[in-house]
Homo-oligomer: A and B are copies of this chain.
Amino acid sequence: MHRGLIVQKFGGSSVANVERIQEVARRVVDYRRRGYDLVVVVSALGDTTDELVELANKINLHPSEREMDMLLSTGEQISVALLAMAVHKLGVEAISFTGAQGGIITDTSHTRARIIKINADKIKEELKKNRVVIVAGFQGVTLTQDITTLGRGGSDLTAVALAKELAARECEIYTDVDGIYTTDPRVEPHAKMIKEITYDEMLEMASLGAQVMQARSIEVAKKFDVPIHVRSSFSKNAGTLIIKEVKRMEDVVVTSVTINKKAAKITICSLPDRPGVAAKIFKKLSLEGVNVDMIVQNVSHTRQTDISFTVSKSALQKAMKVTRKAAANINAGQIIADEDIARISIVGVGMKSHPGVAATMFGVLAKKKVNIEMISTSDISISCIIKKRFAERAVRALHKEFGLGK
Contact = CB atoms under 8 A, between A and B. Distances in A.
Interface of A: 18, 21-22, 52, 55-56, 58-60, 63-64, 66-68, 70-71, 73-74, 77-78, 80-82, 84-86, 88-89, 95-96, 98, 100-101, 122, 145-147
A101 B145 contact: yes
Contacts of A101: 145-146
A212 to B, nearest CB: 28
B55 A70 contact: no
Contact of A59 (B21, B63, B66): B21
Contacts of A96: 67, 70
A17 to B, nearest CB: 9
Contacts of A147: 98
A82 B64 contact: no
Contacts of A122: 145
B77 A70 contact: yes
25 contacts: A18-B59, A21-B59, A55-B82, A59-B82, A59-B86, A60-B86, A60-B88, A60-B89, A63-B85, A64-B85, A66-B95, A67-B88, A68-B81, A70-B77, A70-B80, A70-B84, A70-B96, A70-B98, A71-B85, A73-B77, A74-B78, A77-B77, A98-B147, A100-B145, A122-B145
A128 B68 CA distance: 23
A82 B71 contact: yes
Given A55-B82, A70-B96, 13 more contacts: A60-B85, A67-B81, A67-B85, A67-B88, A67-B96, A68-B81, A71-B77, A71-B81, A74-B78, A77-B77, A100-B145, A101-B146, A122-B145
A172 B134 CA distance: 39
Contacts of A18: 55, 58-59
Contacts of A22: 59
Contacts of A95: 66
Nearest to A103: B145
A175 B44 CA distance: 32
Nearest to A68: B81
A80 B74 CA distance: 12
Contacts of A80: 70
Interface SS of A by simple majority? helix
A70 B100 CA distance: 13
Contacts of A58: 18
Most buried by B among A52, A82, A122, A145: A82
A88 B71 contact: no
A89 B145 contact: no
Contacts of A73: 77
A67 B97 CA distance: 9
Contacts of A85: 56, 59-60, 63-64, 67, 71
A100 B89 CA distance: 28
A82 B54 CA distance: 11
A63 B77 contact: no
Given A66-B95, A67-B85, A84-B64, A77 B78 contact: no
B88 A64 contact: yes
Contacts of A59: 18, 21-22, 82, 85-86, 89
A380 to B, nearest CB: 43
A84 B64 CA distance: 9
A78 B71 contact: yes
Nearest to A66: B95
A63 B94 CA distance: 12
A360 to B, nearest CB: 54
